[in-house]
Amino acid sequence: MARVAIVTGGTRGIGEAISLALKDMGMTVAANYAGNEEKARAFTDRTGIAAYKWDVGDYDACQEGCAKVAADLGPVDVVVNNAGVTRDGTILKMSREMWEDVIRINLGGCFNMAKAVFPGMRERKWGRIVNIGSINGQAGQYGQVNYAAAKSGIHGFTKALAQEGARAGVTVNAIAPGYIDTDMVAAVPADVLEKIVAKIPVGRLGQASEIARGVAFLCSEEGGFVTGSTLSINGGQHMY
């Protein structure tokens, strides 16, 4: 029987690439989304992957959403916590709401989703959780104290949860993407983007498919000896 996977923020950008990669592995994929229903329908029509709407920053919504996926598709074996938002601004201009939105969704979403699926994974003695961090959670970024804090928190969350799942066959890993050629990066002004690319040793932005391949390995049977790790896919921009 095919493994069942949920990819949060799974209908666009990096999330869409991950959803497709897991489907190509033979998994039954549910793509979570929070916003545009029209785009989600177009995604399902294009890919054949079912889309489910809920806010990952809402604890109860995650419980209900994961239960709905399990009822429709079967017990959830794989979760990729990819959903995230930005509310950029220097701390002098950042409101409490901008801080809380990013922490609630980007970091809180990882906790909410893990709470919903981790008990079942432990009982079945198999599970894969992959959390999408960021180069900016590793190195920091001007104007992103909220985003950098949330993504850095994801890396610590990953290492701690990995220790809880290891003996039960549940691996927990993170991927820290660098700058990837997505809509989010396309919104960056051209002159700023040029300076970013100049700092990437390989001399280009990454592709969403390159992140998806890393996720696919960590979610595979063959990835079972990798847990508590953060895989940096950033073109050499940040090495440590």
> Which amino acids are annotated catalytic?
147
Local structure of 127: helix, strand or coil: strand
Task: Show the tokens assigned to 169.
Answer: 């066959």
β-strands 78-81, 127-132 pairing: parallel
Measure Cα distances from 225 to 48, 186, 221 in Å. 31, 36, 9
d(CA 65, CA 116): 9
- Cα 43 to chain centroid distance, Å, stands at 18
Task: Show the tokens assigned to 47.
Answer: 């890919």
d(CA 86, CA 31): 20
The sign of the torsion formed by the CA atoms of 55, 56, 58, 60 equals positive
Task: Show the tokens assigned to 112.
Answer: 């909410």
Q: Nearest to residue 138, comparing CAs of 30, 33, 14, 238? A: 238
Q: With 0-12 CB in 10 A as exposed, 13-18 as middle and 19+ as buried, what is 195?
A: exposed
233 — alpha (psi -120 to 50), left (phi > 0) or beta?
beta
Which DSSP letter does residue 125 get?
Answer: T
